[in-house]
Amino acid sequence: MTGRQHMARTDRVALGLFAAWCLNDLEELMTMRSGSRAALRRVPAAVPVPAAVRDRGLSQEHVALAIVMMGSLMAAASALGARTRFRDPISRTVLEGFGMHGITHIAASVAARGYTSGVLTAPTVVIPFWVHARRVLRDDGAAAPSPAALAAAGALLMPIMLAVHALAHAVLGEDSAGRVPGLPVG
């Protein structure tokens, strides 16, 4: 293959990473608010969740803001991956973390014994894209991620997710909490 063909394939991986993220987060945009109340009540008390959010779940405003913030990170990582052909540690770590996050969606649904936000697109979009992207990058000559790099990607999943939600709460304040009929607000 010529360099241009290699670039086209890695450019498609970069575009695909952002597109797969968009599809997964579209599902989350449509479903996270409604399932967040039950999910947040299962979070251990030692995890610092604002009381109003724990009681009432997330507002649609919070969900949308968190998705936009994460989308900015995903867009930047995808653009970096296109520029470097995923040879840089940041875009490659984001790609690996994205695939692993698909596995966590499935694990969350197994643990909840039912639907959790994002689980429909995890096995149908996220994980198949991840496997395909890794194959394309391998065929393009990119080294497979080391076990340490995979561990780093996995270790970054939760802190990044928590940071995005904490920032959304910092911006929205009490508007981060959902509205539940019959429950007082505030």
Asked if the model's pLDDT at residue 181 lies above 60, the reply is no
Q: What is the pTM of this model?
A: 0.87
What pLDDT is stored for residue 180 in this prediction? Answer: 62
Looking at residues 93-107, what average pLDDT do you find?
95
How far is the CA of 39 from the CAs of 113, 138, 174, 180, in angstroms? Answer: 12, 38, 19, 15
How many angstroms from the chain centroid is the CA of residue 111? 18
Task: Summarize pLDDT for 112-168 with one digit per residue, the tens.
Answer: 999 999 999 999 999 999 999 999 999 999 988 889 888 888 888 889 998 999 999
Task: Summarize pLDDT for 5-41 with one digit per residue, the tens.
Answer: 555 899 999 999 999 999 999 999 999 999 998 888 8
* Two structure tokens written together for 143: 């080294």
CA 163 – CA 159 distance, rounded (Å):
6
Dihedral in degrees, nearest 10, Cα atoms 20, 26, 28, 29: 150
Task: Summarize pLDDT for 39-65 with one digit per residue, the tens.
Answer: 888 888 898 888 888 889 999 999 999
* 8 Å CB contact between 23 and 128: no
Other residues' Cβ atoms within 10 Å of the Cβ of residue 183:
12
Looking at residues 76-105, what average pLDDT do you find?
95
CA 102 – CA 111 distance, rounded (Å):
14
CA 147 – CA 120 distance, rounded (Å):
28
Asked if the model's pLDDT at residue 4 lies above 60, the reply is no
